[in-house]
Amino acid sequence: MTGTNMLNSKIFSILALISILFLSACANLGPASLKGERNNYNVAVQRTNDEQLLLNLVRLKYRDTPFFLEVSSVASQFTMTTDATVNGELPDTGLNIFKFGGGASYQERPTVTYSPLQGDKFIKRVLSPVPLKTISLLYHSGWSVERILRLCLQKMGTHQNAPGASGPTPEHPPQFEGFVQVIKLFRVMQTKGVLEVALDSSQGRSGIVLQIADEAKDWPEVRKLSGYLGTAPGHTRYVLSNNKTTNEPGHIQIVTRSLLGIMFYLSQAVESPESHRKSGKVTITRHKSGEEFDWKKVTGDLLRVHSQYLIPDTASVAVYYRDHWFYVDDSNLSSKSTFSLLAQIFALQAGNIKDVSPMLTLPIGG
């Protein structure tokens, strides 16, 4: 074989080797990109959803207009570019000396589509009362009956759960103590494993049945619950209904909140800066005596949204609004649970509306 043929053969072999290496790199780009970028997009969408919810809670505290912008789709195109060079010399010694090089790069072109929540979608998702089946579903998903009912109900029989807080901050203190006592007793039954919750559609009615096990009918908590709800001592079956109830013992009429009502209620947990309070940017609820009412008595064990001028370093979620940072502290587990429940209610309120969950598409170009 001549020297020229040997040179050509080696150049071809090197080029083939480089091609294999680059094709292998291109083949691995797809799975590697999916592994890295899917998590990145997942975290980004989840974080911005939480930030939007918190931002709207703060807006409602200031009587500003809430606005929801849904991420309807996320598409990202990856393009890979490769190049290779080979130089060869055939010196008098007969040895072949090769110089080769190459490179590869890829570029991402993301496209995010947003859709505002308005019109019929806004009415059905934000303004419609939370259906009883949603309350039942949340309970069977493991949520505390106390947390669910304190968010979703504004009245149970004669007991009110700060109904005025389902709108802009009221000027006068709400009634809530009796309602909270009833719900806390149901929570005791739940934690002791003697409470069952089910939907009731008998005789054309719709309601939620709260059934206490017979073994607990003589417990002090059950007797106290009977006293609050006006039933005979040891009564163990309660039916909560949006409709006008009958005179049957244990049938109680309730009023559910809308998603917007829940958000107004939780906006009372936003702690505004003192400068904003003094300048009249938020409503101060006062007793008849003029003394300020402390909303932490209503929502303090559910949610607390702090505010400060500097960016917080202990926040699980934070937004910047009106020259201040508002945030939920990462160590406040009860607040984080309530915020997570709010996000789930928001998702469930989509109902029969066309799915607007983000769809992630990653076509890989080689």
- pLDDT single digits (tens) 285-322: 999 999 999 999 999 999 999 999 999 999 999 999 99
Q: In sequence order, which ranges of 102-194 are alpha helices (DSSP H)? A: 119-122, 132-140, 145-152, 177-191
Q: Which residue has the higher pLDDT, 179 or 250?
A: 179
Residue 48 CB coordination number (10 Å): 13
Q: Using CA atoms, how far apart are residues 45 and 76, in angstroms rounded to an integer? A: 14
pLDDT above 50 for 358: no
Of 271 and 113, more confident: 271
Pick 244 or 81 by higher pLDDT: 244
Between residues 280 and 35, the one the model is more confident about? 280
Side-chain half-sphere CA neighbours of 174 within 13 A: 28
pLDDT in tens, 140-160: 999 999 999 999 999 999 999
The number of angstroms, rounded, from the C-alpha of 250 to the middle of its chain's C-alpha atoms is: 34
Let me know how long the chain is: 366
pLDDT given for residue 282 in this prediction? 96
pLDDT tens for 8-30 read 565 556 555 555 555 555 555 55
Residue partners of 42: CB distance under 8 A and separation at least 6: none
Instruction: Look at residue 62 in the predicted model and tell me its pLDDT.
Output: 97
Domain boundaries, the chain: 3-118+359-365, 129-269+285-302+330-348
pLDDT in tens, 174-209: 999 999 999 999 999 999 999 999 988 765 667 899
Give the pLDDT score at 354: 42
From 67-71, 163-167, 356-360, the region with the lowest mean pLDDT: 356-360
Does the pLDDT value for residue 76 go beyond 80?
no
Tell me how far CA of residue 163 lies from CA of 153, 174, 192, 251, 265, in angstroms. 9, 7, 30, 21, 9
Q: What is the pLDDT of residues 253-293, one digit of tens each?
A: 999 999 999 999 999 999 999 999 999 999 999 999 999 99
Instruction: Report the chain's mean pLDDT, rounded to a whole number.
Output: 83
How far apart, in whole angstroms, are the C-alpha atoms of residue 108 and residue 77?
A: 6
The mean per-residue pLDDT over the stretch 242-255 comes to: 84
pLDDT of residue 7: 53
What average pLDDT does range 41-59 have in this prediction?
A: 90
Task: Check residue 359 and give its pLDDT.
Answer: 40
Residue 365's pLDDT band (cuts 50, 70, 90): very low
| Average pLDDT score over residue span 324-332 | 97
CA dihedral defined by 238, 242, 243, 248, rounded to 10 degrees? Answer: 10
At 101 the pLDDT is 58
What distance in Å separates the CA atoms of residue 77 and residue 55, rounded to the nearest whole number?
31
Q: What is the mean pLDDT of residues 117-143?
A: 87
How far apart CA 293 and CA 284 sit, in angstroms, is 8
How many Å apart are CA 194 and CA 215, to the nearest integer? 8
For the cut 90, the answer to whether the pLDDT of residue 363 exceeds it is no
Q: Are 365 and 79 in contact (CB under 8 A)?
A: yes
Residues in CB range of 270: below 8 A, 6 or more apart: 57, 58, 61, 305, 307, 326
Quote the CA–CA distance of 120 and 318 in Å, as a whole number: 30
Asked if the model's pLDDT at residue 351 lies above 70, the reply is no
Residue 153 corresponds to which amino acid?
L
Of 10-19, 169-178, 242-251, the one with minimum mean pLDDT is: 10-19
